[in-house]
Amino acid sequence: MTTPDLGHLITAMVTPFAKDGSVDLERAGQLAKKLLDEGSDGILVTGTTGESPTLSHEEKVALWEHVVDAVGDQAAVLAGSGTYDTAESVALSREAERVGVHGILLVTPYYSRPSQEGLFRHMASIADSVKLPVMLYNVPGRTSVNILPETVMRLTAACANITSVKEASGDIDQIAEIIRTVPKGFKVYSGDDKLTLPVLAIGGVGVVSVASHVAGTRIREMLDTFEAGHNRKAHAIHLQLLPLFRGLFRYPSPVPVKTALRLMGFDAGGVRLPMVPLTAEEEAWLTKLLRDVKLL
């Protein structure tokens, strides 16, 4: 399968909620358009930044449908259809394909901590159930399980539609090994904003970003200047934004980025339990951070 052109900057979009806690579909479409206007090449809907563990099956499908309708003719829309339940992930992925998304993201099963063989069978079962391109998502700090490079290689050999990985292990050596061994055309994205430039330097293609909600134009500039060979300028932008990359994860995500969006004029609503809003002191710290990096 030809790897789809997802571009370099994919935003893992938050899910807007109305005041009553319901999903705000209209606001989701508006946010997707805003992110594209600010430099994103693609939108990931119902990833973990989108609070996917608290969304129902029906809410996820409605979000995919609405965002595809809003921006699907302008950019790639990816659906976070992976869960810790293989059967449910298959069902969600088939629904994602039905509504017209351009690819799916499969997070490693959380809590259950499957073996590498279990990871392989889980991912392969889902990939085999659809024709959509599949992006693996490795985030052991959240799921407590790490997809090893050899398992990634095994999956690419077994499933032609597994075409990319969002790597958030934080292990540059592991990421380099994946880049070194995967087939030509397989794309490796940083899953961590603060490692975007290092991952690009070793052969990655871009980032699935959280910070692009509020600094999309500057991240776009960093990616473009690096690709053009202007490394010093890219380094300077990276260092300017590094406090933001770190700060958006000082408190449980996506609470800081949703708060930052509101402070910068786009209200995406609150968060669902077990997430809770920032305290007044925490919000004051975030406001100062946004001012320090010249976003407010």
Kindly name the residue from 33, 34, 111, 137 that is annotated as catalytic: 137
189 is annotated as an active-site residue:
no
Token representation of residue 215: 């600094």
CA–CA distance, 62 with 15 (Å, rounded to integer): 12
- Asked if residue 57 lies in contact with residue 18, where contact means CB atoms within 8 angstroms, the answer is no
Helices (H), the chain: 25-37, 57-71, 86-99, 116-128, 140-143, 149-158, 172-181, 196-201, 212-227, 231-247, 255-263, 280-292
What does residue 59 show for φ and ψ, rounded to 5 degrees?
-65, -40
Q: Please name the amino acid found at residue 197.
A: L
DSSP single-letter state for residue 103: E
At 165, which helix (H) or strand (E)? Answer: strand 162-167
- What's the first-to-final CA gap in the chain, in angstroms? 44
- Asked if residue 96 lies in contact with residue 104, where contact means CB atoms within 8 angstroms, the answer is yes
Q: What is the CB neighbour count within 10 angstroms for residue 180?
A: 10
How many residues appear in the chain? 296
Kindly name the residue from 60, 166, 194, 258 that is annotated as catalytic: 166
166 is annotated as an active-site residue:
yes
Orientation of helix 57-71 relative to helix 25-37, angle to 10°? 40
Contacts 24+ apart (CB under 8 A), 272-275: 272/17, 272/21, 272/51, 272/54, 273/54, 275/51, 275/54
- The catalytic residue positions are 137, 166
